[in-house]
């Protein structure tokens, strides 16, 4: 069997080299597509950017005109024997080229805001991260312990989960007006929206994770003399900790989605304000740059958390590593065999 065929083996892991190449490709493919659409004039480009206005009265240099309109105007000029307008094919303003977005990603941090008193990009970003942090932190302070209690004692499960099931179907944004009325127009209501959006899911997810612990571990502890609280403290909590950690990573991702809603409540702030402001100025490359920053911050923080998780819960991965080593050695052996 050739190594090309092995790339498409059903449910077989790939070699590290192939895996890394594919990871890089997963980013390069969409980027290349974007690059092609932006830079190859025969791909899409439904607009014309005026380079010479000719005799068309309302054309201006650098103006973007629909291709059809440009054609009609030029035909009219031609029939009247006037000077034709010149232009090059272009994409609409809302699709800047990737190279422009990358330069504005840099410029956004170095150019001062258009109006004095407006926050810089990094200030907006920091404000957003602050809102997320407080919302997620406060929600977790109550949500995680309550979830563990619900997953451990039926008493807490029946006491709280029915109401939480009901409440989690209420979309967090509908509490926006109420939050402003109670907490004012500053950061209070924004943090509240993140909490409302996170907390109820959090309790249910954590409680479910807690319930998934291997019952025989609890029974083993009980036969070793562990009483109720000792079981909770020494078996249930350490046993579910790595899974709760994973849940928290996913929940943090959800908190980011609530951020955008939260930031338009009361006075608009943070990265959402920055994006809206730039869209108003029609600086779409800045809009893309800010969106990209959210993606980068999200991905980076998740990767850091994943790395920390592997360090913290290394006892989970000992066997898996061994297995993977075995697998790669067997594939190496197979390859050596197929070569000879």
Report the interface residues with another protein, using CB under 8 A.
Answer: 214, 216-217, 219-227, 230, 234-235, 238-239, 241, 313, 315-316, 318-319, 322
Nearer to another protein (CB atom), residue 183 or residue 221: 221
Nearer to another protein (CB atom), residue 46 or residue 238: 238
Q: How far is the CB of 153 from another protein (least distance, A)?
A: 16
Tell whether the torsion through CA atoms of 232, 238, 240 and 246 is positive or negative.
positive
Nearer to another protein (CB atom), residue 117 or residue 225: 225
Beta-carbon contacts of 209 under 8 Å, excluding residues fewer than 6 positions away, are 147, 151, 240, 243, 244, 247
Q: How far is the CB of 98 from another protein (least distance, A)?
A: 45
Q: How far is the CB of 206 from another protein (least distance, A)?
A: 18
Q: How far is the CB of 285 from another protein (least distance, A)?
A: 49
What's the token pair of residue 122?
A: 């990094």
Contact (Cβ atoms closer than 8 angstroms) between residue 37 and residue 95: yes
Strands 86-90 and 64-66: unpaired
Nearer to another protein (CB atom), residue 57 or residue 215: 215
Q: How far apart are CA 53 and CA 95, in angstroms?
A: 23
Nearer to another protein (CB atom), residue 176 or residue 242: 242
Contact (Cβ atoms closer than 8 angstroms) between residue 179 and residue 193: yes
Candidates 190, 206, 199, 137; CA nearest to 170 is: 199
Q: How far is the CB of 144 from another protein (least distance, A)?
A: 18
């Amino acid at each position: 069997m050739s190594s090309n065929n092995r790339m498409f083996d059903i449910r077989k892991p790939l070699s590290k080299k192939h895996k890394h190449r594919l990871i890089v490709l997963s980013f390069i493919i969409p980027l290349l597509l974007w690059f092609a659409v932006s830079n190859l004039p025969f791909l899409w480009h439904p607009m014309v950017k005026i380079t010479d206005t000719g005799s068309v009265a309302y054309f201006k240099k650098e103006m973007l005109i629909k291709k059809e309109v440009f054609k009609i105007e030029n035909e009219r000029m031609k029939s009247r024997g006037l000077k034709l307008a010149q232009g090059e094919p272009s994409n609409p303003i809302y699709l800047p080229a990737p190279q422009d977005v990358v330069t504005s990603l840099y410029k956004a941090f170095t150019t001062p805001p258009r109006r004095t008193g407006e926050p810089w990009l990094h200030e907006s970003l920091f404000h957003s991260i602050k809102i997320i942090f407080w919302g997620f932190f406060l929600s977790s302070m109550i949500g995680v312990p309550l979830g563990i209690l619900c997953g451990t004692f039926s008493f807490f499960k029946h006491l709280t989960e029915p109401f939480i099931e009901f409440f989690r179907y209420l979309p967090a944004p509908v509490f926006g007006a109420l939050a402003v009325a109670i907490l004012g127009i500053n950061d209070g209501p924004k943090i509240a929206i993140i909490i409302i959006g996170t907390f109820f899911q959090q309790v249910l997810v954590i409680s479910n994770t807690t319930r998934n612990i291997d019952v025989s571990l609890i029974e083993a502890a009980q036969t070793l003399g562990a009483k109720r609280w000792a079981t909770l403290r020494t078996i249930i909590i350490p046993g579910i900790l790595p899974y709760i950690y994973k849940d928290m990573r996913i929940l943090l991702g959800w908190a980011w989605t609530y951020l955008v809603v939260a930031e338009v409540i009361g006075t608009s702030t943070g990265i959402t304000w920055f994006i809206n402001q730039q869209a108003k100025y029609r600086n779409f490359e800045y809009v893309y740059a800010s969106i990209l920053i959210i993606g980068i911050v999200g991905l980076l923080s998740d990767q850091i958390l994943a790395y920390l998780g592997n360090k913290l819960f290394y006892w989970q991965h000992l066997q898996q590593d061994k297995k993977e080593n075995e697998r790669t050695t067997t594939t190496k052996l197979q390859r050596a065999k197929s070569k000879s």
